[in-house]
A and B are shown apart, each in its own frame.
Chain A
């Protein structure tokens, strides 16, 4: 009896995550096309943000490594 219950429970969690996943895909699809006009300024700004983010992550990783050691 217990076994049966566990199966249905895991089934339900699976269903739950599947539904959430579908929701996220739906959101991605809804905003797939970026609405802002891609001018050079926008391009440069986004590129800068990407680089900035990567640098920051690298610093954090470095800090983490030195902290663990």
Chain B
């Protein structure tokens, strides 16, 4: 009797846990995707350069970025699930047309410029394998179009998750270079500034923060939550999803640093593609992994960024805007998506296009939008009328305000230093 009771309880617990896991798997998606897409081509370059310059020295700093990314993105989950509308629409209706148009147009511009950098990353990564840029761009555009055209958010999400999983390729990559775990812990776990705090290291810290939070991420996740049809009762699960995603993003970043910090320590790295080439000459597999990872990062970033714009434009212009629509039902939505892809791709193909200037310009333009987006996010989350019991608590407000103030200051300085390179030198 006692034994059967015991087994019954085990079975019951097993059923309960299995049900919970299934529920999580069903609801999760937007958080993991947005977080891994955050490690886009620009992000990979930043991490690779950080590892090459400072070795394992700044790993502790990346761990600090985990709560930063989580707290900001978690707010979009609540906002989306409770109000059932995207961020662009939320800004329009809460703050009026001026801030609405400003956010929408600035988002479209920032997204487009970032999209160009993703294409630069993808073409650079594949040209290591001797794929001509034009082939990369055409094939990538077609694949991206096919991904959205099947007419189901569900399917799209699953495909995107596969690409997000490829992003984890750096983890086995790091083991191939046999880093010494003890020296990683010794040099990386304790907060310190290798070589003392100077302008150089400040620049790197700012760059790493700059790649962690981007305006498109906020717009993207909120729209994805809405498109997926998440409700208030799913909030806890989607928060967990976001947390898991932010752990992944930091893990990937750390492993990239481990790779370049082990093999390329002390070298100046200009781009991730360049790092991959250097790595190939040392260890063929690791270099190849880095190149594949770079391509995948650019690809994942490109999907999410062009969708973020299309969703936002659709919300405001009143077009049908959901991945659950067929192309005939939402022609403008898919049209905007394709237009962004094709134009950004073509820019990369133009011979002698000012690509370096564009990469630099992205940071500057993004910083015109980022503070507004973050401040709006906090204000919207404190609006009791629409948020009810899901509004920010006092502690959340304190944590998030601190994060936002720090981000605004650092990203502004980063943009200024990008404009005037001699200012911090």
Contact = CB atoms under 8 A, between A and B. Distances in A.
A–B proximity contact (CB within 8 A): yes
B94 A49 contact: no
Contacts of B95: 34, 36, 46
A28 B372 contact: no
A56 B367 contact: yes
Nearest to B378: A45
B409 to A, nearest CB: 11
A23 to B, nearest CB: 7
Interface in A28-69: 28, 31-37, 41-42, 45-46, 48-49, 52-53, 56, 59-60, 63
Nearest to A67: B419
A7 interface: no
B396 interface: no
B375 A36 contact: no
Nearest to B372: A49
A31 B93 contact: yes
B94 A28 contact: no
Interface in B232-290: none
Contacts of A32: 96-97
A37 B100 contact: no
**B interface, by DSSP: helix, strand, loop or mixed?**
helix
B92 interface: yes
A27 interface: yes
A41 B379 contact: yes
Interface residues of B, number: 31
B202 to A, nearest CB: 19
Interface string B87-111: 0000011111101101000000000
**A interface, by DSSP: helix, strand, loop or mixed?**
helix
Interface in B380-425: 380, 382-383, 385-386, 408, 412, 415-416, 419-420
Given A27-B317, A42-B379, A60-B364, A34 B371 contact: no
B221 interface: no
Contact of B317 (A23, A45, A56): A23
Interface of A: 23, 27-28, 31-37, 41-42, 45-46, 48-49, 52-53, 56, 59-60, 63
Interface of B: 92-97, 99-100, 102, 316-318, 364, 367-368, 371-372, 375, 378-380, 382-383, 385-386, 408, 412, 415-416, 419-420
7 contacts: A27-B316, A32-B97, A34-B95, A37-B385, A45-B375, A63-B419, A63-B420
